Amino acid sequence: MPEYRCTRNASYTSDCAGRDDLTARQGYYIEAESHEGAWKEMATRFPDDVSYGFTVQEWEPFNVRVVEVTNDEELDNKK
C-alpha cells in the first residue's frame, strides 16, 4: 500500500518553522489506497481543519544505511 506525507494547511498561530511555509512543517505519514484515502484519513483526524484542506504527497521511504561514527583510532584503522 502506498504511503503519503500529509500536512495540515491551516495557518499556525505561533511564530515557528512552517508558519508561512508548508514544506517546513512536520508531515503525517499515512498508508492509504490513494491520495483521496489519505485525505479522508486526515479529515478524520483533524475535522476542524477540513475547510482549510490538507496537502497530500506520495512518499517513498528512503534507503537509510546506519553507520557508526567514532573517534577511536583503533576502530578507524580496522576499516
8-55 residue pLDDT tens: 888 877 776 767 776 767 788 999 999 999 999 999 999 998 999 999
pLDDT the model gives residue 51: 93
Of the candidates 4, 79, 7, 70, the residue with the CA atom closest to the CA atom of residue 35: 4
**What is the per-residue DSSP string for 64-76?**
---------HHHH
Q: How many Cβ atoms from other residues are within 10 Å of residue 75's Cβ?
A: 10
Q: Which residues of 17-37 are buried (b: 16+ CB within 10 A; e: fewer)?
A: eeeeeeeebebbebebeeeeb
pLDDT the model gives residue 61: 72
pLDDT the model gives residue 20: 74
Residue 48's SS3 state is helix
Dig out the grid coordinates for 64 from the structure. Answer: 537509510
Q: Is the pTM of this model over 0.85?
A: no
Has residue 74 got a pLDDT over 80? no
